[in-house]
């Protein structure tokens, strides 16, 4: 399934498939997010009804927003995590950071743009191979601006293929 917003009918069908007898709210939320990438708002009311809980829509929404793991909106397409420790800084990570921000149009640790999120992290344990980063969970070492451009383009292409 793609990450487009689901219709009410599609959300009800999604809930029907996962909210089976004996299922817990948490297990259903995990299953829904695993399938569509997030828990759409349109699934909250059907979920509360399907589980025959004393939970209201507000309470289900509260569980979704309380747990950091759950998303109520589609995830960003590309996540870039850049090591910002001293070892990587000594090998040019700050210049790389500036390049990445210019290339993506967003800034580290300050939201997202064009379905990209930039995040500073503090050590991947790759100090001898710095600067290091992760793109969509894949570790990369000795990253230069040119290497980043190739990796980022490949990540965008891969995500586009998956969501097409």
Examine the domain organization and report whether 95 and 59 are in the same domain.
no
The CATH code of the domain that includes 84 is 3.40.30.10
Structural domain boundaries, residue 40: 8-66
Q: How confident is the model at residue 3 (pLDDT cuts 50, 70, 90)?
A: very low
The token pair at 126 is: 């790759």
How many domains would you assign to the chain? Answer: 2
Averaged confidence pLDDT in the chain: 85
Examine the domain organization and report whether 123 and 96 are in the same domain.
yes
Examine the domain organization and report whether 40 and 85 are in the same domain.
no
pLDDT digits (tens, 9 = 90+) for 89-143: 999 999 999 999 999 888 887 666 667 889 899 999 999 999 999 999 899 999 9
Examine the domain organization and report whether 112 and 82 are in the same domain.
yes
pLDDT of 157 above 50: yes
Nearest to 104 by CA among 87, 79, 127: 79
Examine the domain organization and report whether 58 and 83 are in the same domain.
no
Nearest to 10 by CA among 50, 39, 42, 38: 42
């Amino acid at each position: 399934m793609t990450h487009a917003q689901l219709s009410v009918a599609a959300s009800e069908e999604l809930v029907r498939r996962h909210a089976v007898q004996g299922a817990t709210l948490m297990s259903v939320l995990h299953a829904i997010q695993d399938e569509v990438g997030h828990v759409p708002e349109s699934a909250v009311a059907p979920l509360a009804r399907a589980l025959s809980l004393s939970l209201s829509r507000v309470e289900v929404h509260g569980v979704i927003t309380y747990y950091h793991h759950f998303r109520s909106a589609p995830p960003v397409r590309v996540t870039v995590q850049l090591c910002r420790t001293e070892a990587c800084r000594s090998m040019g990570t700050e210049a790389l950071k500036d390049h990445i921000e210019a290339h993506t149009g967003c800034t580290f640790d300050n939201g997202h743009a064009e379905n990209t999120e930039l995040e500073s992290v503090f050590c991947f344990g790759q100090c001898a191979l710095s600067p290091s980063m992760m793109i969509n969970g894949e570790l990369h070492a000795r990253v230069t601006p040119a290497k980043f451009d190739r990796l980022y383009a490949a990540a965008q292409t891969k995500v586009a293929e998956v969501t097409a």
